[in-house]
Structure 1
Amino acid sequence: MNNITLSDIKKNNTSLIYHLLYEKEKLSKQEIAHQLHLSLPTVTQNLVFLEEEGLIMKEGLFESQVGRKAVAYTICPTARIGIGVEIQKKKIQILSLDLKGNIGEWTEHSLNYENTDGYYKETAYLVKDFILEHGFSTEKILGIGFAVQGLTSTDGTEIIYGKTLGYTGLNIDVFSQHLNFPCSFFHDAKCAARTELWFGNTLNHALYLSIGKHLGGALIMDGQIVMGKTGHCGAAEHMQLIPKGRKCYCGKSGCMETYCSMDALLNDEETQEIFFKALRNHSKAEVLRWQEYLEMLSSAINNLHMLLDCDIIIGGQISSYLTAEDIHTLQALCNEKAAFPYSEPFLFQSKYPEHTVAVGAVLPYIQKFLEQIRESEFF
């Protein structure tokens, strides 16, 4: 206690005030003083400082039946932003995210992935052009997260397993050397799970299963994404379902990827839109194919649930095409295969089907900034 200075106390008060405003959206200085048990002069002094730093702003007045109306204070969400980039085989998506997790701007470009300097320079150029086009101040940008279809190192500097696009061993330097901002790689499925976790405040223990062209998974425990000892925790896609089954891109056979991904469901050149339109119109061929697909998916989900005994969230590209009836049917199939009776459903559809991957690539930068304020490291 003897080492605590007046400066430490001031920083702590500033941090408390900022985070209270962040959580409560809008408060008067009197309400802040009451809730934090601080004097009005102390609150006023800190509000002035936070406003000068551009972190908060005045936003109208509160209604009052007597006396003067109190000024309403709120945080400035765009005081800092992050940029998210989702790298796909034939395109990239770029978006901006503010401190509240709101998408500001979004764009998409057709760009075939190539492991060449030209591709990395072109991607970096598109990111810089996005920043300039929308007038983002460079000093406000916290960092750029690149979401990739592969496992990444815990520090985000390297793709440690990326056979889908052939970029295993790729270092973040290929992008960061062209961009004057902190840059990191993030696994796309873990990005999607992080988005679900950010907006789903009650989520604590769950497996997020991302079903798109490829399959991916991420395990959430105690409200955190679990990386595991070597970084591939949650990689359900390579759990073997059928010994000596279909060949997987990983080099093995019978992986969940080859039976439960969208590629496994769709025929060559068939789109998701075409398949689900035919399915909803009760086309016999598509209905049969869907039933066979759900049988395999439910077998895999049952295995995962038997092991983890937690909620399982279905996300990814398939999520926006699913109905409540689909989830109910899949849950029923899982229950039939289960060794134990379940009185409550454990299977849920993602609530955030759009831009989840790119958003999740930004959130670590947002979370780090908020944590710096919480720990009074920013001031």
Structure 2
Amino acid sequence: MEKAPKEVQTKRKNKIKIVHYIYRRGHASKVDIANDLGLSMPTVLQNIKELSDAGIVEKVGDYQSTGGRKAKALSIVPDICYAVGVDITANHLGLVMIDAKGTILSNTRQRMRYEDTFSYYQEISERIQAFIDDTLEYPKEREKITGIGVSIPGIIDKANHILLKSHALNVSNISLLKLSQFLPYKVVFDNDANCAAYTEISDPDKNVIYLSLNNTVGGAISYNGKLYEGDHLKSGEFGHIIIVPNGERCYCGKRGCVDCYCSALRLSSHTGGNLEKYFIKLKNGNHDFEKIWNDYLYTLALTVSNLRMAFDCDIIIGGYVGGYLKDYLIDLSKLVMQMNKFDFDTSYLRCSKYHMEASAYGIAMWLIQKFYDTIG
């Protein structure tokens, strides 16, 4: 007797939930899966058997025992699929490849100035293909690539594959098929801040604000484990919140935007565009650079405080500056506490786990998780 459609759908959902759970945890026991997902042990056992038979899940060892039989540790089979992440900026190309467990197999960052030309899109596709060939030696392995994700700074109409507007690249209404047409893989596109946020969304029940401090300021809003994009694809444009009325002129045309005061350029412009050099001078006690940093930190604290008041959830600071902020997080927290009288601490505030190539890694992670959604 065939199973009813509703029963089949429930079974498939349970199987997908189990795979995502193991992926997020890295490894898990059957008991963990049953307890944390609220599934019966027979349901877990049957699904694990089917996933093992399909070559998706494997036993990787034993947990320590407190008596009795040791529980087996289950993990994702790493070579069931691969994903490539691409980060396009005004002056660079970032490339990352990960396996089914999210492990980075290879990554590179190359200098490449963006141009909306046929030759640029052709060259970038050639570089991506060369990167794939260098990482995966055998054609059979390349056939397991589930897709290529491309991170771009700007507002993207994903349904129609159009880059509506990018101040960072100085273009608008660009067909993204100009790039994907050269690649023999599924290609998806997303905003760079959204892509970086994917690296931080590990708890589907947690709400998170991701503040990206690159050469432009952006962000993303994660609600119940999913990104909120807004009615017109413009959510998370934190860089254009006004924090200094009648302040400095922003490239968007307004005055006093967060972007004017909190972008990485605010700091790197003092060291010829080299952000690392700026922080070296800051750590060496350069008084001029300390004053610049104190001003920067104050406006960043104001931004964080405003975001906390608006969203009342965890805030993660990433991007170029976020990669250096860990050593100064206490100073930032002190300033935030002076501005925000509604919280007793700043335990909601932290730096991102990933720094360079976070956007490329994030969009690759998204592709892997979408692959798991197709498991039947």
Taking the aligned partners of 1:276 and 1:88, their CA distance within structure 2 comes to: 22
1:280 lines up with 2:283 in the alignment: yes
1:85 lines up with 2:86 in the alignment: yes
The correspondence of residues 113-192 of structure 1 with structure 2, limited to 5 A, is 113-135=114-136, 137-155=141-159, 157-192=161-196
Taking the aligned partners of 2:311 and 2:48, their CA distance within structure 1 comes to: 50
SS in 1 for 2:364: helix
Deviation at 1:96, TM superposition (A): 0.7
1:323 lines up with 2:326 in the alignment: yes
Match of 2:199 in 1: 195
Match of 1:248 in 2: 250
Contact 2:201–2:225, Cα closer than 8 Å, also in 1: yes
Taking the aligned partners of 1:157 and 1:115, their CA distance within structure 2 comes to: 15
Contact 1:158–1:185, Cα closer than 8 Å, also in 2: no
Taking the aligned partners of 1:306 and 1:361, their CA distance within structure 2 comes to: 29
The correspondence of residues 1-379 of structure 1 with structure 2, limited to 5 A, is 3-4=4-5, 22=23, 25=27, 36-37=41-42, 46=50, 49-51=53-55, 55-57=56-58, 74-135=75-136, 137-155=141-159, 157-198=161-202, 201=203, 204-266=206-268, 267=270, 269-324=272-327, 326-338=328-340, 340-345=341-346, 346-373=348-375, 376=376
Deviation at 1:292, TM superposition (A): 1.2
Deviation at 1:57, TM superposition (A): 4.8
SS in 1 for 2:179: helix
Q: Deviations over 1:233-286 (max 9, x none)?
A: 111001122333322222333211111111123326152222211211221111
Contact 1:189–1:217, Cα closer than 8 Å, also in 2: yes
Taking the aligned partners of 1:73 and 1:310, their CA distance within structure 2 comes to: 32
Taking the aligned partners of 2:254 and 2:6, their CA distance within structure 1 comes to: 60
Taking the aligned partners of 1:149 and 1:19, their CA distance within structure 2 comes to: 28
For normalisation by structure 2, the TM-score amounts to 0.83
SS in 2 for 1:372: coil
Residues 274 and 158 (structure 1), Cα distance of their counterparts in 2 relative to 1, 3 Å cut: same
Residues 195 and 18 (structure 1), Cα distance of their counterparts in 2 relative to 1, 3 Å cut: closer
Deviation at 1:61, TM superposition (A): 8.4
Contact 1:152–1:159, Cα closer than 8 Å, also in 2: yes
Deviation at 1:10, TM superposition (A): 8.2
SS in 2 for 1:186: strand
C-alpha root-mean-square deviation of aligned residues, in Å? 3.5
Q: Give 5+ residue unaligned stretches, structure 1.
A: none
Residues 44 and 102 (structure 1), Cα distance of their counterparts in 2 relative to 1, 3 Å cut: closer
Contact 1:156–1:184, Cα closer than 8 Å, also in 2: no
Residues 251 and 365 (structure 1), Cα distance of their counterparts in 2 relative to 1, 3 Å cut: same
Q: Deviations over 1:136-192 (max 9, x none)?
A: 633211111111111212437221221211232122211111011111221111111
Give the counterpart letter for 1:321 in structure 2: Y
* Rg larger for: 1
Residues 176 and 39 (structure 1), Cα distance of their counterparts in 2 relative to 1, 3 Å cut: closer
Taking the aligned partners of 2:333 and 2:160, their CA distance within structure 1 comes to: 35
Aligned length: 364
Contact 1:172–1:184, Cα closer than 8 Å, also in 2: no
Residues 138 and 244 (structure 1), Cα distance of their counterparts in 2 relative to 1, 3 Å cut: same
Contact 1:148–1:185, Cα closer than 8 Å, also in 2: yes
Contact 1:159–1:185, Cα closer than 8 Å, also in 2: no
Residues 17 and 237 (structure 1), Cα distance of their counterparts in 2 relative to 1, 3 Å cut: closer
Taking the aligned partners of 2:70 and 2:326, their CA distance within structure 1 comes to: 48
Contact 1:147–1:187, Cα closer than 8 Å, also in 2: yes
Deviation at 1:124, TM superposition (A): 0.4
Taking the aligned partners of 1:332 and 1:61, their CA distance within structure 2 comes to: 44
SS in 1 for 2:119: helix
Residues 323 and 203 (structure 1), Cα distance of their counterparts in 2 relative to 1, 3 Å cut: farther
Taking the aligned partners of 1:152 and 1:7, their CA distance within structure 2 comes to: 36
Taking the aligned partners of 1:287 and 1:19, their CA distance within structure 2 comes to: 45
Contact 2:85–2:151, Cα closer than 8 Å, also in 1: yes
Q: Give 5+ residue unaligned stretches, structure 2.
A: none
Residues 190 and 4 (structure 1), Cα distance of their counterparts in 2 relative to 1, 3 Å cut: closer
Among all aligned residue pairs of Structure 1 and Structure 2, give the percentage whose two residues are the same amino acid.
30
Deviation at 1:62, TM superposition (A): 9.2
